[in-house]
Structures are given as structure tokens and as C-alpha cells.
């Protein structure tokens, strides 16, 4: 009887010894699974948490590429795709239901046209116009009234484009009649005409001229004769990524976003 009891005790001890490594192995497997799940759902995931489409005014082309890269680096779960065009074109896209998450225009009037489709806009930057000329300013364009010279080829943004509206505003204020050789669908097209030598001068934003400083010269316009462009940003109500879209809009007004905008020549909101 005593030997039977001893035998049962030995079996129990042997069983416990075998179960310990099995439990340890199971715990290790569970830990690896948990770690894998955390990686898949965390910042290390290859798949972005949100893929945002941002409709942005053409004059933001260069700075938003820089801002987008910085934002994606700081928010590895977000992927940004930008679509740049004249604000009037962007507004038309929103009105037609084109899928997007954020809208940034170069004037408040354009944004107001789609107020029913957006969240509350926030002004993220301001800008001013300059006279852009060919490199070295070969025609000696020094002030606004020089644009009325019929011997010069002047190019402006079309009247429905924010840059065109601002241009008309400041020219009318000086009682100047300017007959452009072309009116372009966005301000970057105006800049391109001057860069290519297809026009002698035109009105663009200061930031546009600075982006092409090796190809064009910029003639400042006195503040009293100038116009201030405002850039509102807003989320779109039909966005499928409302939280991520709101986070990007808020970041544009953050110290990090503002530094990038101001380093590119944009003024404070």
C-alpha cells in the first residue's frame, strides 16, 4: 500500500514537470501574438490608418508638398494625397460630389460657396501679391502703373480665380486699365507664362515668385495698394475620415504647421 502511494506521487510530480514547459511555451506564443497584433494596429503598420485627399489652392503647391511630408513623418498612420487647382475649380469639384476630405482655398468667398458641405473653416495663412517679371526685370517694371503699358505682354489670373479677383481689386483701386494677353485658370499658370518668357510681367502671390526666384524677379507692391489673400481650411462633411481630416486641419494652425507655411513666405493668419 505504501509503495502504491509513492507511485502515485511520482506520477503527479512527473506530470507537473511536463506541464510547466508547455505552459511557458503557450505564454510565449500568446505574447508573440499580442505583440504582432499591436504592431499591425500601431504606428508600425504598413497600411495607413487614414488616406486623406486634400483639395488645395494652386498657390499652396510647393509648401503643401513640404507640409505633407512632415505630417506623414509625424503621423505614420496617415497618407496624404493633394489635388491642386484654382479655388474655383476645387469648389466645383466639391459641389459635384468628388470624394475628398479637406478643402483649402485662397479666399474666403470660394469657401463660402460650399459652406453647406464643410465644417467650420479656419484661416491658416495670408499672402500678398507682387509683380512678377522675367529674370533681371528686362522691361524695368517698377510699379503697378507700368502694367498699363500696351507695349508689354501682361498675363493675369482669370477674374473668377482668387488671384484674378485680388488683381482686379488692386488695379481698379489705382484706376488702371490693363489688357492682359491671357487670363489663366490659376496663379501658377500665370507664373509659368512669365518663367517661359511668354509674358513680360504679371501679378502673382509673393510665395509663388519666391518659389521661382531663380527664374523670375518680384517687384513689391506697397501695402496701401495691395490686397491680402486669406487661406481658409475646412474638413468636408462627406469625408469618410472625419477625425483624421480634422487632425490635419488643426495641425496646419499648430506651431509645426505654421513654421512650414511662414518659412515658405506665407504670413500669419
pLDDT one-digit tens code per residue, 161-172: 999 999 999 999
| Same structural domain, 150 and 211 | yes
Is 157 within the bounds of a domain?
yes
| Same structural domain, 114 and 142 | no
| Same structural domain, 62 and 132 | no
Lowest mean pLDDT among 23-27, 32-36, 96-100, 220-224: 32-36
pLDDT of residue 48: 59
Between 33 and 249, where is the model more confident? 249
SS3 state of residue 54? strand
Is 147 within the bounds of a domain?
yes
| Same structural domain, 80 and 194 | no
| Same structural domain, 56 and 115 | yes
| Same structural domain, 82 and 134 | no
Residue 92 has which C-alpha cell?
466645383
pLDDT of residue 49: 82
Residue 216 has which C-alpha cell?
523670375
| Same structural domain, 67 and 81 | yes
* Average pLDDT for 213-231: 97
Is 7 within the bounds of a domain?
no
| Inter-residue contact 72 to 216 (CB < 8 Å) | no
Core vs surface per residue 83-117: b (16+ CB within 10 A) or e: ebbbbbbbbebbeeeeebbbbbbbbeebbeebeeb
| Same structural domain, 153 and 216 | yes
pLDDT of residue 249: 97
Is 164 within the bounds of a domain?
yes
pLDDT one-digit tens code per residue, 138-194: 999 999 999 999 999 999 999 999 999 999 999 999 999 999 999 999 999 999 999
| Same structural domain, 154 and 222 | yes
Is 11 within the bounds of a domain?
no
How confident is residue 39, by pLDDT bands cut at 50, 70 and 90?
very low
| Inter-residue contact 203 to 226 (CB < 8 Å) | no
- By residue range, what is the domain housing residue 244? 51-125+231-263
How confident is residue 31, by pLDDT bands cut at 50, 70 and 90?
very low
| Same structural domain, 59 and 182 | no
Residue 128, beta-bridge partner list: 228
| Same structural domain, 137 and 95 | no
The total of structural domains in the chain comes to 2
Between 23 and 176, where is the model more confident? 176
Is 26 within the bounds of a domain?
no
Q: d(Cα 137, Cα 52) in Å, to the nearest integer?
A: 41
Is 74 within the bounds of a domain?
yes
In this structure, what CATH number is given to the domain that contains residue 165?
3.40.190.10
| Same structural domain, 121 and 156 | no
Is 28 within the bounds of a domain?
no
pLDDT of residue 130: 98
Amino acid at each position: 500500500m505504501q509503495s502504491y502511494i509513492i507511485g502515485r506521487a511520482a506520477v503527479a510530480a512527473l506530470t507537473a514537470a511536463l506541464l510547466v514547459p508547455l505552459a511557458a511555451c503557450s505564454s510565449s506564443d500568446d505574447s508573440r501574438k499580442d505583440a504582432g497584433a499591436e504592431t499591425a494596429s500601431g504606428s508600425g503598420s504598413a497600411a495607413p490608418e487614414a488616406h486623406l485627399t486634400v483639395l488645395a489652392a494652386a498657390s499652396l503647391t510647393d509648401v503643401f508638398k513640404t507640409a505633407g511630408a512632415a505630417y506623414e513623418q509625424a503621423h505614420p498612420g496617415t497618407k496624404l494625397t493633394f489635388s491642386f487647382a484654382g479655388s474655383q475649380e476645387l469648389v466645383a469639384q466639391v459641389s459635384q460630389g468628388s470624394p475628398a476630405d479637406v478643402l483649402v482655398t485662397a479666399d474666403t468667398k470660394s469657401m463660402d460657396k460650399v459652406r453647406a458641405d464643410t465644417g467650420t473653416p479656419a484661416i491658416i495663412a495670408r499672402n500678398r501679391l507682387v509683380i512678377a517679371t522675367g529674370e533681371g526685370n528686362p522691361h524695368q517694371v517698377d510699379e503697378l502703373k507700368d502694367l498699363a503699358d500696351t507695349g508689354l505682354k501682361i498675363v493675369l489670373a482669370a477674374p473668377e480665380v482668387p488671384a484674378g479677383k485680388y488683381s482686379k481689386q488692386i488695379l481698379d483701386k489705382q484706376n488702371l486699365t490693363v489688357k492682359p494677353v491671357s487670363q489663366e485658370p490659376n496663379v501658377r499658370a500665370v507664373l509659368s507664362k512669365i518663367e517661359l518668357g511668354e509674358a513680360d510681367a504679371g501679378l502673382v502671390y509673393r510665395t509663388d515668385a519666391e518659389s521661382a526666384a531663380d527664374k523670375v524677379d518680384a517687384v513689391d507692391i506697397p501695402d496701401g495698394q495691395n490686397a491680402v489673400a486669406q487661406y481658409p481650411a475646412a474638413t468636408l462633411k462627406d469625408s469618410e475620415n472625419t477625425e483624421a481630416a480634422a487632425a490635419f486641419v488643426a495641425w496646419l494652425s499648430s506651431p509645426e504647421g505654421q513654421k512650414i507655411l511662414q518659412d515658405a513666405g506665407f504670413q500669419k493668419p
